[in-house]
Structure 1
């Protein structure tokens, strides 16, 4: 598969408008082969006329949960610990069929590809528990869609009471017994599922679809399982996903249950912080936590839209960047962002930190946000060259229409990409050298048939979701009491306004 982009412009931070002079780019074998103004196409290459438009790396959705792609707008804003009651209750009548899992995954793939997101890290949870055929259905959707993807199985292996401070003190006896039971899928079963994922899917679709590992969060697994997953991550060089200090309540958890240590400190004490780890959210971190993260080489996955939607707080962007920490950006999930659109994530990331720094010279620059959404995501995914425009890098590319209203007139390309673009100006999207979307529509799938089937199939699931919500209403007073007590517990920092 060979392609030749002619008369395109690239991002250039040294130029007045942030754009290079017209040039050309050659793609061969799924990789960028050459870049230069003097290149000429060969007869066997498909010529793509750039028309002077911008060719840039595809966006990387650095953190995602595909399991709720069908639940946009389902919930009002509420804190994470309350939100999770309604997002993923472990109830049998919510168990999907493989086709449901395939279709809901494909919904996210189509939305991402049509908006110029070419790669995704899916920390996928499964309700009521993971099963091989459902894992296979999700991975098959990624393979069929044409997107670049890594998938991990996000599954706690400890009882609900072990994950949250104060909850056991709020519950009536019968519910306390129920929430003290371990999950039906435990440590050994999860290791079998991780082996299945790696053996069947890691490196599928010519290497475009790969595995990762996940603990969900340190407080949701045993130290033994945590260490075993780290071994798998090291042996196969897989990203390791771990939610840490997303909420104030999680900071309180460390104070109450970990001898005053934060979850980052706890992980470091286990010897499990590494450059393979994606620390997801990292909002309620202190200077000591940031020093540990920086020393380990770990990535932080920043999800500003989700953090606002759930009232979690604002991540200390500049303090992490000052320490050289790699940052990627993520949607998090359709139910907590209500769009699967990385341009909207970039816009929020480019603005929200102005509320936490008095010195405007320390506010994130558009070039930093673009870096997080491209090269930062590539580093997090452990795919060499991903997110870069250079020879030998994967040919995951977006062609942006510079005649669109977002760029009229052209003042500064990086700032207009971050603050003006919504994804509507993406002329063409390429993944691994293959064109997957043109003019805002995927071009290698029966889009209409898939969307019609998803509407019918997933729409029929609405009643089951509503029934689950009624069931969880009975638990709400006890979780609310737990949450409010945590909010009253002092912590040594402020991450909310």
Structure 2
């Protein structure tokens, strides 16, 4: 597959408007082959007229959970630990069919591709437990959609009571026994599932589909399983996903259950903090945590919309960047962002940190945010060249209509991309050299048929989801007490905007 882009502009921070003069770009066998003003198309190349519009790298959704693509608007804002209780209870009534899993994954693929996200890291959880045919359905959707994807199995391994502070002290005996049960799948089953994922899907679709590994979070697995997955990651050079210090409660967990250590320090003490690791959220980290992350060359996955939706706090962006830490951006999930749109993530990331840094010269700049959404994501995914416009890089590209309202007039391309764009100006999306969306619509799928089937099939799950929520209501008072106790427990940092109004203090 060969494509020639004629008369396109590229981002150029040294130019007045932030774009280069028109130039040409050749794509061959899924990579950028040549860039130059003197290039001419060959007879066997499809020519795309750039119309002096902007050609830029496709966006990388650096952290995502596809399992809840069908649950937008399902829950109100609530803290993570309560949110998760309602989002993914391990109930057999919520077990999907392979077709349901395929359709819900495809919903996210369509939304991403149509708005210019060309690659995704899916830290997929499977309710009530992972199964090969459901994993296959997820990966088949990624294969059919044309997106670039990595899939990991986000599966906690220890009982619920081992993951949280204070909870066991408050529960009645029957509920305490229920939450003390071992995980539904153990290490032996998980080894087999990872073998299946890697053997069947790693490197599929000419390398567009790849595997990753996940522990969900360090407190949700045993040290032995943590080390075993790290070995899988090392052997196959896979990204390793780990949620760490997303919430204040998780900071308190370390103080109460890990002899005062943070989850970052705990991971480092196990010898498992590495450049393969994606540390997800990293909000309630302190200076020593940041030094450990920087020394390991790990990536931090920043999910600002989810962090706001769940009231988790504001990640210390500038302190991490000052240490040279690679940062990527992520949607997190449709139920916690209520969109699968990386432009909206970029806009929030470009503004939220102005509330925590008094020196405006240290606020994130638009070029930094764009880099996190492209190059930073490529580093996180461990795909050489991904997110860059350079010869030899994967041809994952967006063509942006500079005549759209967001760019009239064109004052500064980087700032307008971050602060004005919503995805509506994406003229064309290309992944691995293949055009997958034009004028805001995927162009190789039965879009209408898939969406109609998804509406019927996934809409039919609503009663089961609502019934599961009623079942979880019985746990709510105990989780609320746990959460409020953690909020009262002192921690050595501030990552939330706390009100000085006494009437706002609910605890």
* TM-score bracket, shorter-length normalisation: over 0.9
- Secondary structure of the corresponding residue to residue 205 of structure 2: coil
- What residue in structure 2 maps to residue 350 of structure 1? 350
Residue 268 (1) aligns with residue 268 (2): yes
Per-residue CA deviation, residues 88-119 of structure 1 (Å, 9 max, x unaligned), is 00001000000000000000000000000000
- Secondary structure of the corresponding residue to residue 350 of structure 2: helix
User: Matches of 2:144 and 2:395 in 1, distance apart?
Assistant: 18
How far does residue 465 in structure 1 lie from its aligned partner after superposition? 0.3
- Secondary structure of the corresponding residue to residue 20 of structure 2: coil
- What residue in structure 2 maps to residue 175 of structure 1? 175
Per-residue CA deviation, residues 56-108 of structure 1 (Å, 9 max, x unaligned), is 00000000000000000000000000000100000010000000000000000
Per-residue CA deviation, residues 403-450 of structure 1 (Å, 9 max, x unaligned), is 000000000000000000000000000000000000000000000000
User: Matches of 1:89 and 1:242 in 2, distance apart?
Assistant: 20
How far does residue 188 in structure 1 lie from its aligned partner after superposition? 1.2
Per-residue CA deviation, residues 118-153 of structure 1 (Å, 9 max, x unaligned), is 000000000000000000000000001000000000
Q: How does 1:440-459 map to 2 (within 5 A)?
A: 440-459=440-459
Residue 189 (1) aligns with residue 189 (2): yes
User: Matches of 1:277 and 1:290 in 2, distance apart?
Assistant: 14
- What residue in structure 1 maps to residue 149 of structure 2? 149
Per-residue CA deviation, residues 343-383 of structure 1 (Å, 9 max, x unaligned), is 00000000000000000000000000000000000000000
- What residue in structure 1 maps to residue 93 of structure 2? 93
Q: How does 1:327-406 map to 2 (within 5 A)?
A: 327-406=327-406
- What residue in structure 2 maps to residue 165 of structure 1? 165
User: Matches of 1:117 and 1:261 in 2, distance apart?
Assistant: 37
- What residue in structure 2 maps to residue 3 of structure 1? 3
**Unaligned regions of 5+ residues in structure 2, if any?**
498-507
How far does residue 51 in structure 1 lie from its aligned partner after superposition? 0.2
User: Matches of 2:192 and 2:220 in 1, distance apart?
Assistant: 18
Residue 130 (1) aligns with residue 146 (2): no
User: Matches of 1:209 and 1:142 in 2, distance apart?
Assistant: 8
- Secondary structure of the corresponding residue to residue 494 of structure 2: coil
User: Matches of 1:307 and 1:170 in 2, distance apart?
Assistant: 27
Residue 255 (1) aligns with residue 247 (2): no
Per-residue CA deviation, residues 447-477 of structure 1 (Å, 9 max, x unaligned), is 0000000000000000000000000000000
How far does residue 184 in structure 1 lie from its aligned partner after superposition? 1.3
How far does residue 483 in structure 1 lie from its aligned partner after superposition? 0.6
State the Cα RMSD in Å.
0.3
- What residue in structure 2 maps to residue 111 of structure 1? 111
**Unaligned regions of 5+ residues in structure 1, if any?**
none
Residue 243 (1) aligns with residue 239 (2): no
How far does residue 7 in structure 1 lie from its aligned partner after superposition? 0.2
User: Matches of 2:340 and 2:186 in 1, distance apart?
Assistant: 31
- What residue in structure 2 maps to residue 73 of structure 1? 73
How far does residue 227 in structure 1 lie from its aligned partner after superposition? 0.3
- Secondary structure of the corresponding residue to residue 165 of structure 2: coil
User: Matches of 1:156 and 1:187 in 2, distance apart?
Assistant: 10
- Secondary structure of the corresponding residue to residue 249 of structure 1: helix
- Secondary structure of the corresponding residue to residue 47 of structure 2: strand
- What residue in structure 1 maps to residue 325 of structure 2? 325
How far does residue 170 in structure 1 lie from its aligned partner after superposition? 1.1
User: Matches of 2:277 and 2:289 in 1, distance apart?
Assistant: 14
Q: How does 1:212-227 map to 2 (within 5 A)?
A: 212-227=212-227
How far does residue 183 in structure 1 lie from its aligned partner after superposition? 1.0
TM-score, scaled to structure 1: 1.00
User: Matches of 2:190 and 2:174 in 1, distance apart?
Assistant: 28
How far does residue 191 in structure 1 lie from its aligned partner after superposition? 1.1
Q: How does 1:193-204 map to 2 (within 5 A)?
A: 193-204=193-204
User: Matches of 2:170 and 2:314 in 1, distance apart?
Assistant: 29
User: Matches of 1:435 and 1:255 in 2, distance apart?
Assistant: 51
Runs of 4+ more than 6 Å apart: none
- Secondary structure of the corresponding residue to residue 301 of structure 1: strand
TM-score, scaled to structure 2: 0.98
- What residue in structure 2 maps to residue 488 of structure 1? 488
- Secondary structure of the corresponding residue to residue 119 of structure 2: strand
- Secondary structure of the corresponding residue to residue 378 of structure 1: helix
User: Matches of 1:159 and 1:360 in 2, distance apart?
Assistant: 45
User: Matches of 1:312 and 1:419 in 2, distance apart?
Assistant: 23
User: Matches of 1:218 and 1:346 in 2, distance apart?
Assistant: 28
- Secondary structure of the corresponding residue to residue 320 of structure 1: helix
- Secondary structure of the corresponding residue to residue 351 of structure 2: helix
User: Matches of 1:2 and 1:43 in 2, distance apart?
Assistant: 10
